[in-house]
A and B are shown apart, each in its own frame.
Chain A
Amino acid sequence: MRDSIAFLLGDTPRTLRGVDPTMTVLEYLRGPERRCGTKEGCAEGDCGACTVVLGRPRADPGAAPGTMTYEPVNSCILFLHALDGCQLLTVEDLHVHGAKLHPVQQAMVDHHASQCGFCTPGFVMSVFALTQSAASVPDRAGINTALAGNLCRCTGYLPIVAAAKAACAAPVSRDDATTVQRLRAMRDPAPVRLAAAGTTLFVPTGVDDLVRLLAAHPDATILAGGTDVGLWVTKQHRRLPVIVSLEAVEGLDRIVLCEDRIEIGARVTLEALLPVLAGPYPAFAAMLRRFGSRQVRMRATLCGNVANGSPIGDTPPALIALGAEVRLRGAGGARTMPVEDFFLGYRQTALALGEFVERIDIPRPRMGERFHVWKVSKRFEQDISAVCGAFRLTLDGATIAEARIGFGGIAAIPFRARATEATLTGGLWHEATLASSRETLARELTPISDMRASADYRRIVACNLLTKLHAETWSPGATPALAEIAA
């Protein structure tokens, strides 16, 4: 057991001990390090002004030895332990004062991409990460995906897009081999325990240790990516006495491709999952591209999106419609249940004390099955759904052999529309069945009115998504694919 973490700040080794485990990386940079290039715009991971880059040795099979990945993350909601074993890069690391600007920075100047300049360091880091990961110059959609998590109130974005394109056209690689060597030399496989300021944070390294810790601390906050838990600290100013982090637990970061299903471990991020789902479930992947932002998806996990029990999570409707299962594990062993059974009430789940969500299994598509998921929100990118509807339809000719429907944003929990499924199943997928299923759905929904949408709007949209499903079934592309516009 260690009581410290070690990382590279730029190229300088840092060892931290005795720090408040819920201090954010942003607070650390602006406070003890007096690195003020990184800004706080919102302290909730929504504006990207605090974007920094985490570098780590590539671990994926097929990666060239001595190469790194560079992940843009929101430092305002990232706790310090996440830095352990990584290289932390901030806007100050891209060039040394007095020397020439880094090409990304120079491109931003050349394209007049800063006005007030407050969001600029965050954009610089997002673009820098893009230059390190993009195999070729991304198209506009690719740049939007990379920049959706950075808000700018001055420029209207196009100069930044132009700068990003220019920077990606001439990427400058870093001395990855040296960094990998240094990080390898620093690496300490021992689990971590940080305790200060009334919080104890454990970073176990094995599943058995994790189970034991949770049994010993059944009230512990389980922390995966921290894109929700981070806000409990930065927005609600809560003190969390015990936190158990999944950050270093071996095996939980695995995606296992089985013949009949895809097993997704607790620590698998949405960004890692996205390309895996693009083949079997392109609609799911397209929705994930609008889930949070790249900075959020770099940290947020599929299992966390289910485990936090929110009624407005975007993945539960899709998982419900797909018949996915959630596997829970605790000292008493493991158990598996359909995702829809996991949600008991508003922010209440089937997770017993001492248990954690170990993985989620998504079945692979079967013949004759079609899957759609639509996220409807006020803003297209990086918004929380007013309504998210997911549909899996198995057709036998024009007859609906099976229908599974999941909704988010229309009840206290992610909702499986069983009555509507029953109305559809066995029917001919024609206008009459559409009309009756719309009626059933309108009856079984209990949406609320809030700042995102009115109950009436949510109900109409939910029913219209059935119409969309019908239209897309019989003439694919009949309804607008707004994602493809505007680029």
Chain B
Amino acid sequence: MKTAPVLDAPVLDAPVLGAPRPHDSAAWHVDGQALYLDDIAEPAGLLHAVIGLSRVAHARFPAPDLSEVAASPGVAAVLMARDVPGVNDVGPSFPGDPIFADGLVEYHGQSVFVVAAETLEQARAAAALARIDYEVLKPVLTIDEALAAQSFVLPTQVMRRGDADAALARAPRRLKGRLLIGGQDHFYLEGQIAMAIPGEGDDMHLFSSTQHPTEVQHLTARALGIADHNVVCESRRLGGGFGGKESQASQIAVIAALLAARTRRPVKLRLDRDDDMVLTGKRHDFRTDWDVGFDDTGRIEGITFELASRCGISPDLSGAINDRAMFHSDNAYFLGNATIVSHRCKTNMVSATAFRGFGGPQGMMGIEAVMDAIARHLRLDPLDVRKRNFYGGAGRDETHYGMRVENFPVPAIIRQLEASSEYAARRRAIDTFNATSRWSKRGLALTPVKFGIAFTLLRMNQAGALVHVYTDGSVMLNHGGIEMGQGLFVKVAQIVADAFGVPLDRIKNTATSTAKVPNTSPTAASSGTDLNGHAAHNAACIIRARLAAVVAAEFGVDEASIAFRAGQVVAGDRALPFVDAVRLAYSQRVQLSAAGFYRTPKIHYDYATHRGRPFLYFACGAAVAEVEIDTLTGEYRLHRADIVHDCGRSLNPAVDRGQIEGGFVQGMGWLTTEELVWDTDGVLRTHAPSTYKIPSCGDVPTALHIDFFDDVEDADGAVHKSKAVGEPPLMLGIAVFQALQDAVCAACPGDAPRLDAPATPERVLMAIAAHRARQPA
């Protein structure tokens, strides 16, 4: 039998901020109690839905014949475009993402209709009976085709600093190149899922595996043609998100709600893995053309980038994603004279979407390829070229979009990392190994990360929280952030526990709900803790001030002398247990609930001129990777990796370490084995883990050393001087790609074949094979 916790027992004065506390749900994860959406007890009368997907990439079609679908056993409803009472679109910022294709399908796997039946099996069987006559049109599939056809989802953008053309013309040395960068499927372990329960009148209660409950709420209301206040969207936890449930969860939830409204029955829509990978968006793939002028030491004098990304059929979030690619085309390097052009190509493929890093990784890949190319050209260690180009020094502290780079920690991070990784000694050892090894070659690379923190869309940089203190001293915490594995809930709870000076177990996180905190931003852009932590801190401080006033009056002391620590409200030598202070306040009719709010200061940006301060601060780090390749098969293994990352004053080093480790491995996967293959008909051929290969256990070496950056004085405005850590570590994986590039160059003496990403064993071997073919027999 469970006993009620004793809430007024004395507690040790252990700091909760900065403590490596376990994930808030760790115990429930490991014993199977944690409820994901599909685990929630199903309401009576629940229907199961299956989406009918387009079988061609581009076609017109007359209204489909769904009579056999409707007549199939167990079917309760069949809906298509004409059945949407409100707006048939779930585009997050711009229209273009129809809930159901309406006379025109634009990608293979697009939603055409949905069927709800008593069982999932019946719904699947029914969906297979649809008859759709496609009048097939020629699809635009590749970036080259899209550029030739001037097929764009949004207008081309240009950022400029200085005069790149003139600098290129006068530079002593000049190189050009092209880099192809593949996309990436999120492969969250929990697929897209939603459940809709209709209530009285227009009420609709949604459970959604979404990073953005507010958008689900608003788009559902818009599709149903009802006011937002009728819809509640709730989400306790996600089995992984990584950006894949920022905008992509909306369509799933909206379709469930449409069916629930039509049938007046609860409806669950859970995509199986194949449908999930075919129907929902992925990371953008890029084609990056570069042209760089530099001096004899490798320092860049002028550079142009022409970025072209495959956005699929609609804008979705592609505007901000491609902006972020442009913002990160400098990575950690000063580009005095730079022109960056960004094309957002429209293709007949699923709309590409947010993915951890949000365009930043693709932007960085370009400049890191340039660094490597310059070094190969000058026969220098790429690290030396990188160092020569860092921000810093007179007149070298402004980005190509006009933001000052202040307190730039990367050189110090590199110093720490070079020492901890023994870079120089290992470089020599690898050179020796490569000189004597015929079939096996090793590669080493050190790459930095400088990642801008803030939503580049200004209005998204706000957050709300709701804190209730109950009369037993327990605290209920709610905010707009989504727990998707990143440890947000425990970090925010630590902030609140610290504010009240109570143990962490007094704080309970509750499911994120649009009914508790409205008009929230997505949990994205690494901002979850910065925004929601601040908002929750604000709410807790409001209540704390009220409690302090009550206790100060009781003790007859000044409010300023009141402190909250170790479960006590303390003033001088007098102390009151927290719970007694709460009861005292309640008895005096003082409100013990507060809503908190936060808006990010200082940021501004002018999209017309591409000038401003889009980021509050930069989160930085660096990684060294060492790989070994088999030059006969192209296979490779990561031997060792060393990372130094700046988390500011970490709120929870265990959680932050997990983000660094996991982000690095996810970034490595993106650039190595995770290959999305579309055929010439625009059909995705890699739509399950049997064909799409994320890293597995054996891909991660035991020798993965992670250190936090020692010197953490720069932490502009982040909560308790912590720093965002969700996305930046993904880009540490670029070190693995560059190490493979280094190994390939070692296998091709006198030559420097460029690798494209992902550097699959095939790409590695083909680069070497092409070199061998060029050699005289």
Instruction: Report A's interface with B, CB cutoff 8 A.
Output: 30, 34-44, 46-47, 49, 90-92, 94-95, 97-98, 101-102, 104-106, 108-109, 112, 114-121, 124, 140, 143-144, 147-148, 150-161, 235, 237, 374, 376-384, 386, 450-454, 456-457, 460-461, 464-465, 467-468, 471, 478-480, 482, 485-487
Residue from A40, A109, A153 within 8 A of B187 (CB atoms): A153
Residue from A38, A115, A457 within 8 A of B662 (CB atoms): A115
Are B661 and A380 touching (Cβ within 8 A)?
no
How distant is B246 from chain A, measured CB to nearest CB, in Å? 15
Show 29 A/B contacts (Cβ-Cβ < 8 Å), sorted by A. A38-B32, A39-B36, A39-B239, A41-B191, A42-B689, A94-B31, A112-B655, A115-B485, A116-B237, A117-B29, A148-B696, A148-B698, A150-B697, A153-B187, A153-B188, A156-B658, A156-B700, A157-B665, A157-B696, A380-B696, A381-B698, A381-B699, A383-B693, A457-B766, A471-B439, A480-B628, A480-B630, A486-B698, A486-B699
A143-B697, A156-B662 as given contacts; A451 in contact with B32, CB under 8 Å:
no
Are A108 and B30 touching (Cβ within 8 A)?
yes
A44-B688, A118-B240, A148-B697 as given contacts; A36 in contact with B39, CB under 8 Å:
yes
Q: Which of B107-132 contact A (CB under 8 A)?
A: 121, 124-125, 128
Bound-complex Cα distance A116 to B666 (A):
14
How distant is A373 from chain B, measured CB to nearest CB, in Å? 13
Are B697 and A117 touching (Cβ within 8 A)?
no
Please count how many residues in chain B sit with their CB below 8 Å of the partner chain's CB atoms: 93
Bound-complex Cα distance A39 to B765 (A):
38
Chain B residue nearest to A147 (CB atoms) is B697
Stretch of B20-28, B96-104, B310-318 with 4 or more beta carbons under 8 angstroms from chain A: B20-28
A95-B31, A154-B662, A461-B634 as given contacts; A118 in contact with B239, CB under 8 Å:
yes
Q: Which residues of A contact B628 (CB under 8 A)?
A: 480, 482, 485
Residue from A118, A156, A386 within 8 A of B190 (CB atoms): A118
A118-B190, A151-B694 as given contacts; A43 in contact with B273, CB under 8 Å:
yes
Residue from A44, A121, A156 within 8 A of B273 (CB atoms): A44
Are A115 and B486 touching (Cβ within 8 A)?
yes
Bound-complex Cα distance A486 to B665 (A):
14
Residue from B239, B632, B675 within 8 A of A116 (CB atoms): B239
Are B189 and A39 touching (Cβ within 8 A)?
yes
Of B26, B629, B700, B704, most buried by chain A (CB within 10 Å of CB) is B26
Q: Which residues of A contact B665 (CB under 8 A)?
A: 156-157
Interface residue? B72 (CB, 8 A): no
Chain A residue nearest to B484 (CB atoms) is A116
A116-B238, A453-B762 as given contacts; A464 in contact with B273, CB under 8 Å:
no
Q: Which residues of A contact B696 (CB under 8 A)?
A: 147-148, 151, 157, 379-382
Q: Which residues of A contact B20 (CB under 8 A)?
A: 112
Interface residue? B207 (CB, 8 A): no
A39-B36, A39-B190, A451-B686 as given contacts; A144 in contact with B698, CB under 8 Å:
yes
Chain B residue nearest to A146 (CB atoms) is B697
Interface residue? B720 (CB, 8 A): no
Q: Which of B31-88 contact A (CB under 8 A)?
A: 31-36, 38-39, 41
Q: Which residues of B contact A115 (CB under 8 A)?
A: 23, 485-487, 658, 662
Q: Which residues of B contact A97 (CB under 8 A)?
A: 31, 33
Bound-complex Cα distance A35 to B41 (A):
11
Are A460 and B765 touching (Cβ within 8 A)?
yes
Q: Which residues of B contact A486 (CB under 8 A)?
A: 637-639, 698-702
Interface residue? B673 (CB, 8 A): yes
Q: Which of B707-746 contact A (CB under 8 A)?
A: none
Are B700 and A464 touching (Cβ within 8 A)?
no
Are B699 and A457 touching (Cβ within 8 A)?
no
Interface residue? B272 (CB, 8 A): yes
Chain B residue nearest to A234 (CB atoms) is B272
Q: Which residues of A contact B484 (CB under 8 A)?
A: 116
Chain A residue nearest to B26 (CB atoms) is A109
Bound-complex Cα distance A326 to B25 (A):
52
Q: Which residues of B contact A154 (CB under 8 A)?
A: 240, 485, 658, 662
Residue from A35, A37, A386, A464 within 8 A of B762 (CB atoms): A386
Chain A residue nearest to B638 (CB atoms) is A486
Bound-complex Cα distance A457 to B677 (A):
16
Q: Which of B213-271 contact A (CB under 8 A)?
A: 237-242
Are B702 and A158 touching (Cβ within 8 A)?
yes
A-B contact count (CB 8 A): 276
Bound-complex Cα distance A208 to B503 (A):
69
Are A101 and B30 touching (Cβ within 8 A)?
yes
Bound-complex Cα distance A124 to B697 (A):
14
Q: Which residues of A contact B189 (CB under 8 A)?
A: 39, 41, 47, 49, 116, 118-119, 151-153
A97-B33, A453-B762 as given contacts; A44 in contact with B697, CB under 8 Å:
no
The 3 closest A-B pairs by CB, nearest first: A37-B32, A116-B485, A118-B239
How distant is B744 from chain A, measured CB to nearest CB, in Å? 14
**Additional pairs, 10, CB under 8 Å, beyond known A36-B35, A109-B26, A379-B696:** A43-B273, A109-B22, A112-B655, A116-B240, A117-B30, A157-B697, A376-B761, A384-B690, A452-B691, A486-B700
A159-B661, A479-B440 as given contacts; A380 in contact with B699, CB under 8 Å:
yes
Are A112 and B654 touching (Cβ within 8 A)?
yes
How distant is B566 from chain A, measured CB to nearest CB, in Å? 25
A38-B32, A157-B665 as given contacts; A44 in contact with B655, CB under 8 Å:
no
Interface residue? B2 (CB, 8 A): yes
Bound-complex Cα distance A456 to B634 (A):
13
Interface residue? B459 (CB, 8 A): no
Q: Which residues of B contact A237 (CB under 8 A)?
A: 121, 124-125, 128
Are B690 and A105 touching (Cβ within 8 A)?
no
A148-B696, A379-B696, A485-B637 as given contacts; A114 in contact with B702, CB under 8 Å:
no
Interface residue? B599 (CB, 8 A): no
Are A91 and B689 touching (Cβ within 8 A)?
no
Q: Which residues of A contact B41 (CB under 8 A)?
A: 34
Contact flags (1/0) for B436-471 with A, using CB distance below 8 Å?
001110000000000000000000000000000000
Are B673 and A450 touching (Cβ within 8 A)?
no
Interface residue? B274 (CB, 8 A): yes
Are A454 and B762 touching (Cβ within 8 A)?
yes
Chain B residue nearest to A487 (CB atoms) is B702
Interface residue? B512 (CB, 8 A): no
Contact flags (1/0) for B590-612 with A, using CB distance below 8 Å?
00000000000000000000000
A151-B189, A153-B694 as given contacts; A41 in contact with B273, CB under 8 Å:
yes
A47-B689, A154-B485 as given contacts; A37 in contact with B699, CB under 8 Å:
no
Of B41, B662, B688, most buried by chain A (CB within 10 Å of CB) is B662
How distant is A178 from chain B, measured CB to nearest CB, in Å? 23
Are B689 and A151 touching (Cβ within 8 A)?
yes
Bound-complex Cα distance A453 to B693 (A):
13
Of A94, A386, A460, most buried by chain B (CB within 10 Å of CB) is A460
Q: Which residues of B contact A44 (CB under 8 A)?
A: 273, 688-690
Residue from B38, B239, B633 within 8 A of A461 (CB atoms): B633
Bound-complex Cα distance A452 to B272 (A):
22
Interface residue? B399 (CB, 8 A): no
Interface residue? B426 (CB, 8 A): no
Residue from B28, B188, B685, B695 within 8 A of A450 (CB atoms): B685
Chain B residue nearest to A239 (CB atoms) is B125
Are A156 and B661 touching (Cβ within 8 A)?
yes
Are A478 and B438 touching (Cβ within 8 A)?
yes
Q: Which of B632-657 contact A (CB under 8 A)?
A: 632-639, 654-655, 657
Q: Which residues of A contact B637 (CB under 8 A)?
A: 380, 482, 485-486
Chain A residue nearest to B128 (CB atoms) is A237
Chain A residue nearest to B636 (CB atoms) is A482
Interface residue? B576 (CB, 8 A): no
Interface residue? B511 (CB, 8 A): no
Residue from B25, B633, B658 within 8 A of A117 (CB atoms): B25
Q: Which residues of B contact A468 (CB under 8 A)?
A: 439, 632-633
Chain A residue nearest to B242 (CB atoms) is A153
Interface residue? B408 (CB, 8 A): no
Chain A residue nearest to B678 (CB atoms) is A451
Bound-complex Cα distance A377 to B22 (A):
37
